[in-house]
């Protein structure tokens, strides 16, 4: 009896949960947390370029929704001219099945937007997007390092 209970616990830990089929249309609400490296290129007193690369994880804020337990990688550039930042970043997310989404984040006038550009597997042909809000920054461990979280809300459509 004890061995059966132990085997059940081990199987629950070792076997990943299978995601529910993805609807053709839907809304998402996720929190993503990330960390990575920044590289600063100061051009002048009024113009600075920062490029960065981060990796992180995504969790759904609503049970059994898309983009829960995904990992991702982003590469981005922020141009600061006269203390006004403008950012563009490209990110690739991968889910537990190995299917991927690819998209772009833009930040202008402190408004952050996400746009789906493409996908593979179950995400092939994806369109849509939404907004992102800063959901915390964390202490910097060393110069050139950054980390934080964002809350992401929007919708998607599949063909």
Q: Are 28 and 155 spatial neighbours (Cβ–Cβ below 8 Å)? A: yes
Domain ranges of the chain: 22-157
**121 φ/ψ angles, rounded to the nearest 5 degrees:** 60, -130
Q: Looking at residue 137, what is its pLDDT?
A: 76
Q: pLDDT of 95-152, one tens digit each? A: 999 999 999 999 988 889 999 999 999 999 999 999 999 887 788 889 999 999 999 9
What's the whole-number average pLDDT of the chain?
87
Comparing CA positions, the residue from 65, 66, 56, 62 lying closest to residue 32 is 56
Mean pLDDT of 58-87: 92
For the domain made up of 22-157, the CATH class stated in words is: mainly beta
pTM above 0.85, yes or no: no
Q: Looking at residue 69, what is its pLDDT?
A: 94
Q: Looking at residue 20, what is its pLDDT?
A: 59
Q: pLDDT of 10-55, one tens digit each? A: 333 333 344 557 889 999 999 999 999 999 999 999 999 999 999 9
Q: pLDDT tier at 63 (50, 70, 90 boundaries)? A: confident
Mean pLDDT of 77-97: 95
Comparing CA positions, the residue from 65, 69, 71, 63 lying closest to residue 22 is 65
Q: Looking at residue 110, what is its pLDDT?
A: 83
> Which is it for the CA torsion 137, 138, 143, 146, positive or negative?
negative
């Amino acid at each position: 009896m004890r061995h059966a209970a132990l085997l059940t616990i081990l199987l629950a830990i070792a076997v990943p949960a299978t995601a529910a089929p993805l609807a053709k249309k839907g809304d998402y609400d996720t929190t993503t947390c990330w960390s990575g490296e920044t590289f600063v290129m100061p051009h002048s007193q009024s113009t600075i370029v920062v490029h960065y690369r981060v990796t992180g994880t995504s969790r759904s804020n609503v049970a059994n929704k898309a983009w829960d337990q995904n990992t991702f990688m982003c590469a981005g550039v922020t141009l600061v001219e006269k203390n006004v930042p403008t950012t563009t970043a490209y990110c690739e997310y991968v889910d537990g099945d190995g299917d991927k989404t690819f998209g772009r984040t833009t930040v202008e006038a402190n408004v952050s937007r996400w746009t789906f550009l493409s996908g593979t597997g179950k995400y092939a042909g994806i369109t849509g997007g939404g907004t992102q809000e800063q959901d915390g920054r964390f202490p910097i461990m060393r110069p050139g390092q950054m980390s934080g979280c964002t809350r992401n809300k929007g919708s998607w459509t599949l063909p």
